Amino acid sequence: MDNENVDKYLKIAIKYIINKIDTSKYRVIFIIGPPRVGKNTQCDLLVKKYNLIHLGVCDLLQGEINKGSKDGKLIKGIIEKGEIVPVKITC
């Protein structure tokens, strides 16, 4: 499936979630998908509509890198190699 179709289906899924969500009950929403399909755009819409907080994985990882911590240096090396940062580091 190309990015245009993924973007189309992501938007449909987000609209479905928005119509079904009870924000008083659910506190965490995960938006996942391949790169460059509009996840951040859809998250921005959710933030505005429901007054939520958006924690982007890239932002969190970059924050750790910027601290210069041991984990930040490890994360930077993994990202520079083009690899996925393992769950044991991100959780």
How far is 80 from 91, CA to CA, in rounded Å? 20
More confident residue, 54 or 35: 54
Where exactly are the structural domains of the chain? Answer: 3-50, 57-90
Q: Is the pLDDT score of 87 beyond 60?
A: yes
d(CA 65, CA 67): 5
pTM score, whole prediction: 0.55
pLDDT tens digits, one per residue of 39-84: 888 888 888 887 888 888 888 899 999 999 999 999 999 999 988 8
Predicted pLDDT at 73: 94
